[in-house]
Amino acid sequence: MLLRTTLILLFVTFAANAEVKLTETDILGTWQIDSESNNSDGSHAKKLSSTWTFRNDGTMEGMSTDSDINARSSEIRAIVQYSVEDGKIIKQTVPGRSKFETCTAVEKNAQKMTLECNNVYFFMTKK
């Protein structure tokens, strides 16, 4: 019985972290980043006020707003290059730089997506 329970838990854990192959069609449009976490289950998540807009010209516009009165700027906007290769998003880390990062979808349905980018999980909703 213990072995069976252990195998079931291993299977569920593996299935929860299974990779979802994306196409460009899957990601086009604007995604609200609801939260980010270092944990795949979303525990200890940080709420964000950010959007990522994937365009069919290979650019992604990121926009974040900050309501902190001590923030240097209330809005930050950046446009970076991206592509979808082997079901993963490859995107610039900083505009104008040649460094890219790979983001893997670990969950995706019609309106929700969880991306892992360099061990940070982004929990997103399609707008």
Q: Which domain holds residue 91?
A: 19-126
Instruction: State the Cα angle at 32 between 27 and 35, rounded to 5°.
Output: 115
Residue 81 resides in a domain: yes
Residue 4 has pLDDT above 70, yes or no: no
For residue 68, the model assigns a pLDDT of 66
For residue 12, the model assigns a pLDDT of 39
Query: CA-to-CA distance for 97 and 67, rounded, in angstroms?
Result: 28
Structure tokens at 93: 């880390």
Residue 66 resides in a domain: yes
Quote the mean pLDDT of the chain.
Answer: 85
Residue 51 resides in a domain: yes
For residue 74, the model assigns a pLDDT of 73
Buried b (16+ CB within 10 A) or exposed e, 47-81: ebebbbebeeeeebebebeeeeeeeeeeeeeeebe
Domain count, the chain: 1
Give the max Cα distance, the chain: 58
**For residue range 40-92, what is the model confidence (pLDDT) as tens digits?**
999 998 888 899 999 999 999 999 887 666 767 778 899 999 999 999 999 99
Residue 110 resides in a domain: yes
For residue 71, the model assigns a pLDDT of 63
Q: What average pLDDT score do residues 2-7 get?
A: 37
Q: What is the CATH number of the domain that holds 51?
A: 2.40.128.280
Residue 2 resides in a domain: no
For residue 14, the model assigns a pLDDT of 40
Residue 9 resides in a domain: no
Please provide the size of the chain in residues.
Answer: 127
Query: CA-to-CA distance for 16 and 92, rounded, in angstroms?
Result: 27
For residue 17, the model assigns a pLDDT of 56
